[in-house]
Structure 1
Amino acid sequence: MADRDGRRDRLTRATHLPRRLIRWARVARAVLVFEAVWPVIWPPLGLWAVYLCVALLGLPQRLGIAVNSILVFVDVLAGLVALGIGIARIRWPDERDAQARLTRASGLKHDPIAALLDSPAQTDADSDLLWRAHRARVLASTRRLRVGMPWPWRTTPGRFAFRGGILAALILCLWLAGPMAQPRLTNAFTFNPLLLLGPPAPPPGITAWVTPPPYTGRPPVLLPAHADSVTLPKGSRLTVTVSGVTRAPQLDGLAARFHALDADSFQMESTLDQSGLFVLRGRGESLARWQIIIQPDVPPIIGFAGLPGPDSDGYSLRLPWHAVDDYAVVSAHMTAHLIGHLTAPGLSLTLAMPDGPAPKVDGVQVTDLSANPWAGLPVSMQLDAEDAAGQTGRSTAETVVLPERRFIDPYARRVIAIRKGLVQMTGLRDRDQRVAVVRSILDTAATASLAGKKASATLPLFGAGWQLLRDRQAQVPADIIDTLWQVALHFEQGDAADTAQSLNQAEKALQNALQGNGASAAELTKLMQQMQSAILQHLSTLMQMAQHQGGQIQVGSAGKPFDLGQLAQQLQAMQAAAKAGDINAMRQAMAQLQQSLAQLAQARIAQPDPKQMAARAQAEKDLGSLQQMMKTQAQLLDRSTSRAESGSPDPAGQQKDAAAQAALQRAAKAMAGRVGPGMTAAGQSMGQAAQQLGQGQDAPAGQAQSQALQALQQAANALGRQLSSQPGQGGGFEIGAGNGQGQGGEMPLDGFSSGNGLTDPLGRPLANGQGVSYGADIRLPDGLQQARLRAILQELRSKAGDLSLSPGELDYIERLLQPF
């Protein structure tokens, strides 16, 4: 009771203290409490710091979630027990301890608060006055009161070294863990109390896969539960399905959330745009982790595989190129701009993909640009490629001179030179320049007209000149450029220019249909028949021109004959592919056919070499003489055989036939040097027959005459083969040559009907009013058919000398041989 009353009395008196002193006393007591608690919390902090260091090194995580949970539980419990024991042993400070702390920290000899709490022993006036002076002096001394800083590290050297070592070890482990510090600590301090109360629950089922974006063309990729490094294209879609959990899991690194599939299954989908570490957490533990590296899609790379230039034909552009992409190149284009006119619209060309979209493409584009106004002029050429993601890559620019068609006709060359000059002009604002161009056009038209060029070609040239003079446009009209090209073609090819243009249009129509995917088999067959009709019409026109002009059909500046057999084989291959419905085979056949069609479209009529024509005329004359000699020799043989069979000699007739046989021998000797050794053998047999006839021996003379007739047949056959191999046969075409190895092809004869009875050189009907029939009832044979015809002709000639046949049969055979 006394202590309680004394404490209450102190509290009552304390209320008379200044508030400043009351606050100082409370702060001093709090500092004393901190200094008392600080040594107590170090043991549990040390236990927890040791486990923290071990966790930063990743050791508890390797023991499994069960052992890890036990270690976390034991460590936390041991620290709490040590903390409880230490707190229980603390002697908590009171008011006197706080007052003593203030006195010591302030450097005072007496406790000012205790002096202020005292009361005077006497209560008279003098004592009260003295007491008040004493309180005033004590209050003045309280202005020097200080609490002082807490001094928790005031301990023994061993404990100080232990605490310093714990801090140093913790810092070292943090440095060793680096960026893995946070995930290691999170996994190490995962606690599952269910593992301490019963058997472990079955692990959740995790299925994770990544679907690459469509532009990659790659299949979905299944992810393992733990992947150190997975490289995926940007825009891939991650799908994670977790089963066997009651709450929705979380995926660190993505903002997407899981949605419930059923009571214990959840799924999440999200697009991956950034790299990172993705950790799947559920049931208080780490279920899976993926280190994903996002690889952005880079634009394709395209370039020239060689300098573009003329192809083997001399006028087509050969453009080698290559392109690569991380996934697939889907399209490529060539763009060209005329040097000096870079602001003008460019020339664009789609490059063919040899095997379709692919990560690596190597192609060679061969395109006929000879009709383009820029042919023969330098252009700035650039390539660009596009991938499936829509990104575009572009090559460096190359300066290339576009190949041009070489014209043989001098007036065609003049027109093309004028056309190239107009294309290169930036404008026709200068009147003198315009007049000079018009004068050049009109002069060319006038001289071409005087040289015999058709009005269908010269009149458009006159019109172009007057139009250019009349128009005041600054730019050259495009129709004038096109007119000059058409005039040059007519000067070069004559009437075949129109059929060549029709052939080009039919070819492009079929090619466009084959490049697309919407044409039916019936449409492709119709377009192919139209192209074949255009081919045959062009051939007929060329042969007509060759017949009327007495010239030869030539292809290219070298004047090489066109291979009809190769064209026939290519058309047969396309027909077979069309019947089978194989579009890819038709495309391949069309690619092989294009070069032949381009050569045929540029065929022209050239005057032959006079020496060759003279030699051919002599050979044809010799062949006619041989046919007449064969007829005369057959008549002499008939008379000798008739006299020998009748047994009645006719000396006058024998002498007459001997003179005729001798004249025939002299003609054979005269031709022997030109025709060949066959005529020498025929002359020897004729001389023997003439001698025997002069001696009246008809039977031996008949045998010699038969040998002479066979020798004449062999000489005629050899001369015929020589004529068929000379230039000019078939109008400059190689008939049945095929691929140059003697394997010819027949022009396809299916699907055509004749309505007007006119046929082309290959026996095909012509459209009404188009072309002429050059040998309307004759089909040009191929190599095999020619051999068979020669064999039949030789058989007929041998039968003509067979005396066992009746006169009617011999007369029939003679009529068959009459044209030959």
Structure 2
Amino acid sequence: MSLQTIPRVERALRLTRWGMAWERAARAFWPLLTLLAVGFAALALGGVAALPGAALPWLAGLWLIAVVIAAGRGGWKFRRVRSYEALERLDRTLPGRPLTALRDRAAIGGEGALWQAHLAQMQQAARAARAVRPDADLARRDPYALRLAALVALVMALIFGGAGQMGQGVRAIAATMTAPGDDAGIPSGPAWEGWAEPPAYTRRPTIYLNATAEGEVLELPKGTEVSFRLYGGGIEVVQDIGPASGEDQTAPVFRAERTGAIEVGNRRFDVAVLPDAVPVIRAGAAPVRRADGRMIQDFSAADDHGVSEASAVIALDLPKIDRRFGLAAEPEPRDPITLALPLPRGGRQDVQGQLVEDLSRHPWANLPVRLTLEAVDGIEQVGQSDPMSVNLPGRRFFDPLAAALIEMRRDLLWSRENAGRSAEILRAVTWQPEGFVEGDLYAQLRGAVGLLEGDDFTPEARDRLAEALWEAAVQLEDGGLQDALERMRQAQERLSEAIRNGASPDEIQRLMDELREATDAYTQMLAEQSEGQDRTDSPDRGQQGQQITGGQIQEMMDEIQRLMNEGRMAEAEALLEQFNRMMENLQVQQGQGEGQEGGQGSQPMNRLADTLREQQRLSDEAFRDMQRQFGQGQQGQGQQGQGEGQQGGGQDGQSLADRQRALREELGQQQGLMPGQGSPEGDAARRQLDEAGRAMEDAEQALRDGDTGQALQRQADAIQSMREGMRALGDMMAQQGQQGQEGQQAGEGQQPGNQPGESAPGGQSQQPYQGRPVLDPLGRESGGGGNVVTSGDPLAEGRDPAQRARDLLDEIRRRSGQQDRPEDERDYLGRLLDRF
């Protein structure tokens, strides 16, 4: 029977054979391995280099002879392990020697049952075979444990030794084998070494001169430090590239200042010194003023090795100042303004950045100044831009009293000689303050009069008064008015003033937002005042003027916003004046019989209007962001739109995409609070708002992907869907109000059969809201509902709106054909014709 058929036996035989091979190898070659370990440890630990030169060759020779003898002896004693030897050793470890029994053959009765039983018993015993552990018996053969000492030395060499020590040992052995008289012809090392270290600001690596190719021209930046180390006598360095800076003759050091050559020993280095160029810095367009008064200035700088620092220097441009009124006196001396320009941390060879600084409180704010940019490189070379004559951007005040206080503050900071004049102005401002100046502010201003007329008007007192005047002006400009109507009028006047004065788009947008907020507050106040009033006390209310809804007011303000965005400031100002006259006479009406649902529906409508307004504002900011990306400015604003501060960067540090997500979540919350669930109009409103939510989600993703064009398209879809939803919600609220009116009319004996839109007796068509079609201020028919704003202004009345549109289009065609008009105007009229 073959033993290979028993897996356990076959594996035990293989391992036992390998163990026996290791035993024989260890017994034969342990002296050789011990000698090799000792030799390696002596080299790695520096023992060879420490031996005397006379004894080293003898010891090396003896070691080599011992290695050869040990190798020969090991090869002679080593014998290969045979299979039967491994079988014999393994069989001796088993009771009854089953492996030998399994290899036997029966002479008689080999097929009998007894023999088969015997084989089965041996197979069972063979399955208990285990590999025999090897035993080289080295302790008996090496009674002094020399092998262990060599092993410890080897481990220590691996841990603490080094390649350098081994090299020294090999060189020491090689030196002993050199023939006598040949030492003088073999150099022990270089006779000299040299390095060229460029200045740190260049960020160039150090050059090892010994490794440079023969005849290679060294290109070194100006100011490079060249140093040498001379190891042999009779060697000197001759150079003409710059002055020496060291006194040690064996280690000369000098700085590369000009092109020349260096000679050392038998080497010559041609050196080309690269001059360090003066940094170049340029200013972008004229500084831009943000709505909050901050100055934004674009700049670009470049240097061959990088700009180390840059600054903006602002000096008063006295010859260009209109020296009248408070500026007629000689100004008190002030140092120029120096502002550090922001620079990146990395490479500064080519820098483009933007300076944002708030200089609204500086005495030179809104005055002519000269702006100069400076850049400094690593060796203190200064580059300057061409001086730019501009008005220093600062905050603008549109409230008359606030503007007067700011002008007075400027005059006092200009020169303390204006104290008397400023006191007279303050007396005039505070004369008869009732209804004009608040009590606390009046007390502060009267105290300032005493300070200005006193004898101790020191620079410190002047600065404290200037700070108080600034705070008072800011409070007047930004502080809320108790009367909502007055606040709305103030916002309208400031917006009109800003349009007439050519304010920046950022300032106009801020004032437009203030007007929206003030208008919302005023209409909300009127709505609250009208609650609970009996409409039967004034039966003619609403018949004296055109009725418009809060949504129509929003559309009119959106039209003003669109005209301003397109640069049509004259038309925007005219429409704003009409809006002002309309708001002077508006009334907020609630339909007769308006029940609980109508009251509940007004709040969701207002919240939807706020969300729509925020979405429109976000879309405008995304559009301006796309304009900045493609370097476009707004029509009619010249280059003023370029470099505008990124208002759309998101409030509280949010990006446009984050704000879009917040609007989408707000819209989702509003959908859950909408009334009219189950009605056709309510379901239609919900469907439209669902579509608006999906469009907002797509716009958010597009903004995150940087696809501003797709984002604008989806934002426009969201705005359209929200308007449709609000229209459906308004129709539902109007229908509920009409049903309440019909019930009341039926109780008073009127004909209940007339439905809205049917002809009433007398041939009049009963239209919603007092029998007249609901038109917005632009003459367009619109569905009403909810709170209604009634105005006596005839803006929405007049001839057919379609005829007015045709006349306007004919006028555009006529003007576009007049060749004597400016080219910019004709291009603009051509774009209008292409659009409409």
| TM-score band w.r.t. shorter chain | 0.3 to 0.5
TM-score (normalised: structure 2): 0.39
Normalized per residue, which structure has more strand? 1
Return the structure number with greater relative CO, CA threshold 8 A, min gap 6.
Answer: 2
TM-score (normalised: structure 1): 0.39
Structure with the greater alpha carbon radius of gyration = 1
